[in-house]
Structure 1
Amino acid sequence: MQLFFRKVATSDGPFPIRESLNVSELVDDRADVTAVSPLETDLVAVSLGQGSMSVEGKLTAGLDMLCSRCLSPMHEDLKIEFRERFKQTSSSSVEEEDEDGDFIAVTEDSFDIAPYCEELFVLHVPFAPVCSEDCQGIAPAAGQDWSLGSDDSNDGDTEKIDPRLAGLKDFFK
């Protein structure tokens, strides 16, 4: 997604940027992400004058994930606000130009905006997704979701006896 300073500066009004980015390789190392839809960009670039521009809009993507508590499949829709400001600078003045950090310095007339979108996507992928706020997770003894087990298996009143020691239960009678 190449963006040109000259093209944005000479456009009449806002310059729209609508593309789809394949971001599946960004979450390949995540075992809890089973599928990801393309990252849809709905951005608008506006020239601010003096070789600078503002890019604002929304990024959207869908994730199929596994709940971190009960491992049940779930779907997460990401809606991300994008707001960055870029400034065209010479390579010698990159360090001294913007002390406040308001602008991202760009040394060429064109630059790729995709890495900035991808970075924001990765930062918004949930670290430990939960299917619902009241998800109880997996019962350790039964090995299944707490909500799926019967009341008898979850109450903890039944005492399991090691079969090797079963003969000792009649010892004190």
Structure 2
Amino acid sequence: MSLRALAAEAGVSSSFLSQLENGRTNASVGSMRKVAAALGVSPAQLLDDSAAHTRGVLRAEQRPTIQLDGAEKFVVSLPPLRNLEVYAGSFAPGGSTGEEAYTHGNAQEILVVTGGSIVLQLGDERYAMHAGDSIEYLSSAPHRVSNESGADASVLWINSPPTPDETPHAP
């Protein structure tokens, strides 16, 4: 997150954050709460100089799940998202992300097939993909994933930057 974006999210000036970062000023409790909220951490985490390298384990049974048409999409990255978001998906035979291709944001998206076979419809192109295959595209391009095989399939979606908080929509 840029200094400017953090300042806007926290409702403080970027010059204040710069001075705070460089030890030239102190923060009030109110300012610390705003900055912590914008970063998605507790104020105590801002004061702890042992930098956390992880947000912890997201257990499979605790992952938020998005039900699709004969498929499921699982959140893999814990909020707040830093520079990317990751989803895992499972597709039953005949399952898909929906009848229509959709778009969301304008992020770099990477689709990795982790098991089975899927078909990626990307604009007017169709890509038959198998376990281990990957492809990169912009999330603003109309896309749709389907499992046309007779066996289960699984994928990972990786987006950078994270998709804005918007509902995916058909083009």
Is this a same-fold pair by TM over 0.5?
Answer: no
User: If the length of structure 1 is used for normalisation, what is the TM-score?
Assistant: 0.28
Scaled by the length of structure 2, what TM-score is found? 0.29
